[in-house]
Amino acid sequence: MILRISTLVIAVALFFCGPLMRTAHGQQAQTETQAVQVIGLVGLKENTKGRLTVVNGTLRFAFSKGNIEVSAVSIEDVVTGKDSQRVIGGTVGTVASLAAPYGTGSALPLFRKKVDTLTIQYRDADGGLHGAIFTMPRGQADSIKKELVAQGAHTSVPIVADLMKSLRDAREEKR
Amino acid sequence: MRNIFRNALTGFVVLTLCFAGVLRAEAKQPAKMKASAIEVKMIPSDELTLPTEFQISLYENLVEQLQKKAVFTRVYRDGDKNAVSAADLITLECTVVKFKKGNETLRQVTTVAGATSMTLRCEFTDKNGKSLLVRDITGNVRFFGGSLKATYDFAKKAAKVADENFSSGTAGS
């Protein structure tokens, strides 16, 4: 009888805890976004393109030749920002703007797209301070930051303040 | 006979000029201070004056340029535990004196406006905190490139200043 009751209790507990466990597992599968590492990750060239994810307590930057991971706990500050970049950038953009006839190349820099920036400061195993800057499509940086903070990263700008700023920006853009 | 005399005189003048040039160059160069390791401190950021991207970019570029110049045997990052035991360690602290964030679009369209410019006071101190060298260094980007390029320009100049004033005392540096 006692055995039956305990089995029943375990079954009921499992029934209720099952969805919770699934939710917790769901939090491990994080959003992935395309990103450009502007500067800062050790051993990586500037402006390396790749994909940024937050998985199992680490910020992972996957690029064509491998992965670089930074533990969320080691991140002392994560800050988001807004910026814009040239649609036709780099050498091609520069040459095109110089070579275009009758000075029409000057109009090229006017074609810009808005991007989010994500800046992190973290410590290595020796305690040395590192910084890294990423750019990504608009609207992605806040969710990456939220996930990092949820997994142990610190921030000097609270997420609520970020949200308020985003709302203010959106309102200003509408006007 | 006359030709020989003229050639000898010309040779003498040329040699004298060369020798004087070398002497002058040597006299111009101040004696380099000995330092085999440097610890680069993070640039303090006042949110109103220096955006975080610039703060990080300045710091990372500074570390990279000092490593590239190879003036010091070791370049330590801010807070590195190993720096404590390094011999002849000096510390580099930079504070923002002036910052003007330009506009890349304006820069490229007008070619005369929109420059990004920043001036930082760089202070090299020894282990006891004694100031060894203070310089105001300016970094800017005037025509091509994003505003963050000004941080690269600053870092290159700062590394050059370090190269001109410090030496690790080992061959090849």
ipTM: 0.77
Dump strand ranges (E) for chain A. Answer: 32-39, 48-55, 58-63, 66-71, 75-86, 112-123, 129-137
By residue range, what is the domain housing residue A64? 31-174
Contacts of A81 in chain B (CB under 8 A): 51-53
Closest residue in chain B to residue A43, using alpha carbons only: B64
Contacts of A124 in chain B (CB under 8 A): 77
User: Touching check for B51 and chain A: CB below 8 Å?
Assistant: yes
Residue A150 lies in a domain: yes
Closest CA to B88 of B60, B125, B59, B62: B125
Q: Residue A52, Cβ neighbours under 10 Å: how many?
A: 23
CA A138 to chain centre: 11
**CB atoms B109 and A110 under 8 Å:** yes
Residue A131 lies in a domain: yes
Q: Which DSSP helix (H) or strand (E) runs through B25?
A: helix B2-28
**CB atoms B56 and A121 under 8 Å:** yes
Q: How far apart are CA A79 and CA A61, in angstroms?
A: 17
Residue A43 lies in a domain: yes
Residue A95 is predicted with a pLDDT of 64
Residues of chain B whose pLDDT is less than 70? 1-2, 18-30, 46-48, 103-113, 142-145, 170-173
User: Touching check for B32 and chain A: CB below 8 Å?
Assistant: no
Residue A149 lies in a domain: yes
What phi and psi, each to the nearest 5 degrees, are found at residue A131? Answer: -135, 150
**CB atoms B105 and A94 under 8 Å:** no
**CB atoms B79 and A131 under 8 Å:** no
Residue B39 is predicted with a pLDDT of 97
Longest Cα–Cα distance of chain A, Å, equals 94
CATH number at residue A146: 2.30.29.30
Residue A25 is predicted with a pLDDT of 45
Residue A163 is predicted with a pLDDT of 66
Residue A15 lies in a domain: no
User: Touching check for A88 and chain B: CB below 8 Å?
Assistant: no
Residue A26 is predicted with a pLDDT of 45
Dump pLDDT digits (tens) for A52-77: 999 999 999 999 999 999 999 999 99
Contacts of A132 in chain B (CB under 8 A): 56, 60
CATH second-level architecture of B31-167?
3-Layer(aba) Sandwich (3.40)
CA B144 to each of CA A40, B114, B115, B148, B150: distance values in angstroms, whole numbers, following the listed order? 22, 11, 10, 11, 11
Residue A143 lies in a domain: yes
Minimum mean pLDDT range among A80-84, A109-113, B169-173: B169-173
**CB atoms A119 and B108 under 8 Å:** no
Cβ neighbors of A44 (< 8 A, separation 6 or more) are: A37, A61, A63, A68
Q: Which DSSP helix (H) or strand (E) runs through B63?
A: helix B52-69
Pairing of strands B89-100, A58-63: unpaired
Contacts of B80 in chain A (CB under 8 A): 126-128
Helices (H), chain B: 2-28, 52-69, 104-110, 149-165
Residue B17 is predicted with a pLDDT of 72
Output the six-digit token pair for B99: 């910052």
Mean pLDDT over residues A91-115, rounded?
A: 62
Of B80, B105, B148, the CB nearest to A128: B80
CA A155 to chain centre: 14
Count of domains forming chain A: 1
The helices-and-strands tally (H runs, E runs) of chain B is: 4, 7
User: Touching check for A93 and chain B: CB below 8 Å?
Assistant: no
User: Touching check for B74 and chain A: CB below 8 Å?
Assistant: no
Cβ neighbors of A100 (< 8 A, separation 6 or more) are: A108
Dump pLDDT digits (tens) for A128-140: 999 999 999 988 9
CA distance B28 to chain A (A): 37
How much is the CA Rg of chain B, to the nearest whole Å?
Answer: 22
**CB atoms A130 and B79 under 8 Å:** no
Output the six-digit token pair for A85: 């970049």
Contacts of B114 in chain A (CB under 8 A): none
Of A79, A107, A108, the CB nearest to B52: A79
Closest CA to A30 of A155, A148, A157, A127: A148
Dump pLDDT digits (tens) for A141-164: 999 999 999 999 999 888 766 667
Residue A18 lies in a domain: no
Output the six-digit token pair for A34: 């395309």
Dump pLDDT digits (tens) for A23-56: 444 445 567 899 999 999 998 999 999 999 999 9
Q: How far apart are CA B154 and CA B137, in angstroms?
A: 7
Q: Residue A93, Cβ neighbours under 10 Å: how many?
A: 18
Residue A158 lies in a domain: yes
